Amino acid sequence: MSALTAATRRKIPLGDFAGPSRWQTAGSGRSAASSATRPDVPELTPRQARFCAEFVVDLNGEQAAIRAGYSPRTARSQASRLLTKANVGPEIARLQASRAERTDITADRVLAELAKLGFANMADYMQAGLGGDPYLDFSALSRDQAAALQEVTVDTYVEGHGDEARDVKRIKFKLADKRAALVDIGRHLGMFVQKHEVTGKDGEPLVAPVEPSKIALLLLNMLQAARPPESDRG
């Protein structure tokens, strides 16, 4: 069988909508943080301002500290220390709010996009023939329905030989991961509460209770160990 195959593929990435961007601080690098309204909060140093700008790029504190000029050996501890400072948190929040305003990306918009993926239905992309066999129909596809398409592949080839040869077109499509989108939606809405078991099996305590006689023996041994030797007694 000779075949001629052509395929087109369209993928809709589910990653960062805005894409990474580098933030630059103007002037001496000092942030226009709220030191004017909060005189009790110290102004950011140039390196702290650089850390804030780098942190909003990927929310990786350790890498942000390294890019801000801190030693790679102590970057993780420096990031933890910086994120607890009273002047760093507000500056990071200001930068994130500024980026959201410029890109028009809000939590509601991201949630709406996740909903398109999570609530997509295969029935929206197919029709049933006279015999009940399904076939694809994208003619009435809305923009919201198209957003859930992760991949569309069209294969065309010739099947058979001579007079029996015929053109064949095969179309396949793949929807985005519904489960992953629904999990992200549930987490955003606080639907999933992680529970940690603080007891053992069947409600038993994690640590077995100690008999009172063993506790008394342990205390006696500790007292004897603390008594000075006979030679040291006055």
Buried b / exposed e along 163-181 (16+ C-beta atoms within 10 A): eeeeeeeeeebebbeeeeb
The vertex-26 CA angle with 20 and 30, nearest 5°, equals 105
Residues shown for the chain: 234
The answer on 167 and 90 residing in a single domain is no
**Within-domain flag for 7:** yes
The pLDDT of residue 51 is 94
**Within-domain flag for 113:** yes
DSSP state of 231: G
The answer on 159 and 85 residing in a single domain is no
Highest mean pLDDT out of 65-69, 102-106, 165-169, 230-234: 65-69
To which residue do tokens 């700008």 refer? 53
CATH of the domain at 34: 1.10.10.1400
**Within-domain flag for 152:** yes
**Within-domain flag for 75:** yes
**Contact (CB, 8 A) for 106 and 3:** no
Other beta carbons within 10 angstroms of residue 69's beta carbon come to 12
Other beta carbons within 10 angstroms of residue 60's beta carbon come to 14
Range in 6-20, 145-159, 215-229 the model is least confident about: 6-20
Stronger pLDDT, 234 or 44, i.e. the higher one: 44
The answer on 192 and 109 residing in a single domain is yes
End-to-end CA distance of the chain: 108
Structure tokens at 162: 């001579």
Of the candidates 78, 104, 130, which is a domain's last residue?
104
The answer on 188 and 139 residing in a single domain is yes
The pLDDT of residue 154 is 87
The pLDDT of residue 208 is 65
The answer on 87 and 8 residing in a single domain is no
Highest mean pLDDT out of 15-24, 94-103, 210-219, 222-231: 94-103
Mean pLDDT computed over 179-202 = 78
Residue 129 has pLDDT above 90, yes or no: no
According to DSSP, the β-strands at 134-136 and 126-128 are: antiparallel
Range in 132-136, 139-143, 175-179, 210-214 the model is least confident about: 210-214
The answer on 194 and 132 residing in a single domain is yes
Instruction: Count the domains in the chain.
Output: 2
Domain that holds residue 139: 1-17+105-198
Range in 20-34, 50-64, 67-81, 170-184 the model is least confident about: 20-34
The answer on 157 and 128 residing in a single domain is yes
The answer on 165 and 122 residing in a single domain is yes
Q: What is the Cα–Cα distance from 136 to 123, expressed in whole angstroms?
A: 10
The answer on 139 and 97 residing in a single domain is no
Q: At what angle do helices 46-58 and 88-103 cross, to 10 degrees?
A: 50
Of the candidates 69, 104, 139, which is a domain's last residue?
104
**Within-domain flag for 174:** yes
- Concatenated DSSP letters of 99-165: HHHHHT--HHHHHHHHHHHHT--GGGGEEE-TTS-EEE--TT--HHHHTTEEEEEEEEEEESSGGG-
**Within-domain flag for 189:** yes
**Within-domain flag for 234:** no
- Residue 134 bridge partners (DSSP): 128
The answer on 7 and 116 residing in a single domain is yes
The answer on 77 and 7 residing in a single domain is no
Binning pLDDT at 50, 70 and 90, where does residue 4 land?
very low
Range in 42-51, 63-72, 218-227 the model is least confident about: 218-227
The answer on 168 and 110 residing in a single domain is yes
**Within-domain flag for 212:** no
